[in-house]
Amino acid sequence: MTSSNAPLVRRAPTKPGADRCRAWYDAYGRIVYRFLRFHVDSADTADDLTGETFLRVVQAGERYDPTRAEARTWLFSIARNVLRDHFRRVRVRRHVGIDAVRDLAVDAPSPEERLLRQEEIGRVLAGVQALGRADQDLLSLRYASELSLAEIAVTLGLREAAVRTRLWRAVARLRARLRAQEAE
């Protein structure tokens, strides 16, 4: 027999670590989304992939070992795997046009400034698209996701010095591509 003060609906038990996963989503959900959005052609797809990433985080949360990597680094390793799996499944074009990434573009005060900004972003994205996959991953992890060099090193399984060198070279290649585009 239940008392009249007892709740009629019981809360479903949560998986161990679910609160920790919620805290990670609150802390890192936006930058995981930006990382994924950098690689896919729609905001809806990026939302879906972000959800898939955090579903895997909840499922694998018990296996997280803070002595091996920071939570943020571990999350981006999972996000990279989700992205890789997505491209395997759908076999879509990896690169997107500037008109498809309006949510990444900054709205400028005037239409003219907005158009100039869109053209600049388009030029940079075209330059990034001309780079190899490894360069694209490095640039997106560093600049779209704002990971530190140490976090990128753990995510990619490289030494930090190697990440620094590869990133420096990727930026140099991007600059060269952008200069070549200007010359055309």
* pLDDT, tens only, 140-182: 888 888 888 998 998 888 999 999 999 999 999 999 988 888 8
Pick the CATH number of 14-94 from 3.40.50.2300, 1.10.1740.10, 1.10.3720.10, 3.40.50.800: 1.10.1740.10
- Token couple for 149: 């060099």
142: three-class secondary structure by DSSP: helix
Residue 15 to residue 18: CA distance in whole angstroms: 5
Q: Among 133, 129, 148, which residue's Cα sits nearest to residue 83?
A: 133
Q: Are 145 and 113 in contact (CB under 8 A)?
A: no
66: three-class secondary structure by DSSP: coil
Phi, psi of 66, deg, nearest 5: -65, -15
Is pTM, for the whole model, over 0.75?
no
* DSSP H helical ranges for the chain: 18-39, 43-60, 71-90, 111-129, 133-139, 149-156, 160-183
Distance from the Cα of residue 103 to its chain's centroid: 14
Residue 109 to residue 89: CA distance in whole angstroms: 40
Single-letter residue type at 6:
A
Q: Is the pLDDT of residue 10 over 90?
A: no
The pLDDT value recorded for residue 9 is 39
Taking the CA of residue 111 as centre, how many other CA atoms within 13 Å lie in the half-sphere pointing to its CB? 0
- Tell me the domain boundaries of the chain: 14-94
Q: Among 93, 65, 174, which residue's Cα sits nearest to residue 127?
A: 174
Single-letter residue type at 72:
R
The pLDDT value recorded for residue 126 is 82
Q: Are 122 and 151 in contact (CB under 8 A)?
A: no
The pLDDT value recorded for residue 80 is 92
Single-letter residue type at 94:
R
**pLDDT tens, position by position, 79-131:** 999 998 998 887 645 555 555 555 555 544 567 777 777 888 788 888 888 88
Buried b (16+ CB within 10 A) or exposed e, 121-160: beebbebbebbeeebbbbbbbbbbbebebebbbbbbebee
